[in-house]
Amino acid sequence: MNASNGQFSKAAVCDSQTGASETMVSQEKVKILYSADQQVKLLDLQAEAELLLKQLQALKQQRTEQPVSSIS
């Protein structure tokens, strides 16, 4: 998160491989900078983004596993 403008980088929000210590630091920053209702909204949006990413990855995997049908 960029504390100067209050925005999260895509990497901070979407990178599911971020280390646990980095995640804890980010969560502490969120607790300091945002009110409880904003924290809840942020967590909901993060969960939704993770779910959508997993769905997208599953669809991509399904498409790569399906044989390409030839047009006759």
When computed from its CA atoms, the radius of gyration of the chain, rounded to whole angstroms, is 18
Query: What is residue 44's three-state secondary structure?
Result: helix
61, containing H or E segment: helix 36-65
pLDDT of residue 68: 64
Residue with tokens 């979407």: 14
Question: What is the model's pTM?
Answer: 0.51
pLDDT in tens, 34-53: 898 998 999 999 999 999 99
70 secondary structure, DSSP code: P
In total, the chain counts a number of residues equal to: 72
SS3 label, residue 8: coil
